[in-house]
Amino acid sequence: MPAGLLGIEELQRPEIEAILARAKDFQTIQHQPVKKLDTLRGKMIVNLFFEASTRTRTSFEIAAKRLGADAISISASGSSISKGESLVDTLNTLAAMHPDAIVMRHAASGAPYALARHLATPIINAGDGTHEHPTQALLDARTILDYRDSLEGLRVAIIGDIAHSRVARSNIHLLSKFGATIVLCGPAPLLPPELASIAPGVTLATDIRDAIRDADVIMMLRVQLERQHEANFPASEYFQFYGLRLEHLNLAKPHAIVMHPGPINRGREIASEVADSQRSVILNQVENGVAVRMAVLERVIG
């Protein structure tokens, strides 16, 4: 199998540390007047997105361009998938044009893994169904480490629609490898008990206050209505029980940070005053997304 990036679960700690360290170098470059390097000059990256995306797709494209590579983005609605072509045929067609990597988002969990077994082109998983979103967990770790010296011993509350969240799964794997304690919290239908055993250090809570108490990091998740078949909570009721409000922050550690992978739904899982508060690092996450994806592209293609 070519060396792409499919999930956090199979990455070793040193590989993650190397990506995070390299991303730190790229953070600095983003603040320079000229942000372009030529590390990947002559390389071509294809972004193939079968699901909606603002942050991930744009930041992969910017990351590729900042490294001097060429990047093109294709979405399912504008591709021959909408004309009935199979996923394998689409991927083989793109691979025949010899890109150096394919960045792929797909609604089916495991899709990039299955394709990676058949393609010589490295695949980078930009989110597969409810399974993994590895670059999100890496950029989340980079962001936490901008505020804390280490992930070891941190208490991280992940709150919301855990059942459908690839962000939660990738973060559980990453944070657990680095010795953090993870509390998963949400309404029972969105909180699968089996997740408590996918990695060490994971516990479950159905009361948001129990999850937030003494937390160093509060990571909010969107209710993924596009994947919901079991329960559709009225927005106001959901916000009453699982929405993060300013008063909740008093329960957390004094310098706790608030994260969200986006897109945020104000008034559903997070109050505007929290999203826009000093504690919120949501836009720092977006900024770090570019640096982390530069580090990932360099590792995969460079």
133 sits near ligand ASP (criterion: CB under 6 A) = yes
CB 141 → ligand ASP: shortest distance, Å?
A: 16
166 sits near ligand ASP (criterion: CB under 6 A) = yes
Q: Which of 43, 142, 173, 222 binds ligand ASP (CB under 6 A)?
A: 222
Q: Quickly count: other Cβ atoms within 10 Å of residue 228's Cβ.
A: 15
The angle formed by the CA atoms of residues 73, 262 and 88, to the nearest 5 degrees, is 35
CB 257 → ligand ASP: shortest distance, Å?
A: 18
Asked if 56 is an active-site residue, the reply is yes
Amino acid, single-letter form, for residue 154: L
Q: Which of 11, 124, 167, 215 binds ligand ASP (CB under 6 A)?
A: 167
177 sits near ligand ASP (criterion: CB under 6 A) = no
> Residue 146 is encoded by which pair of tokens?
């901008």
Which of 226, 237 has the CB closer to ligand ASP? 226
Candidate list 43, 133, 142, 222, residue with the active-site label: 133
Asked if 117 is an active-site residue, the reply is no
Residue 35 CB contacts under 8 Å (≥ 6 apart), including other chains: 29, 66
Q: Quickly count: other Cβ atoms within 10 Å of residue 21's Cβ.
A: 12
Count, residues near ligand ASP per rule CB under 6 A? 8
> Residue 134 is encoded by which pair of tokens?
């590895």
Q: Which of 156, 261, 282, 293 binds ligand ASP (CB under 6 A)?
A: 261
Catalytic residues: 55-56, 83, 105, 133
Chain residues binding ligand ASP by CB under 6 A are 127, 133, 166-167, 222, 224, 261-262
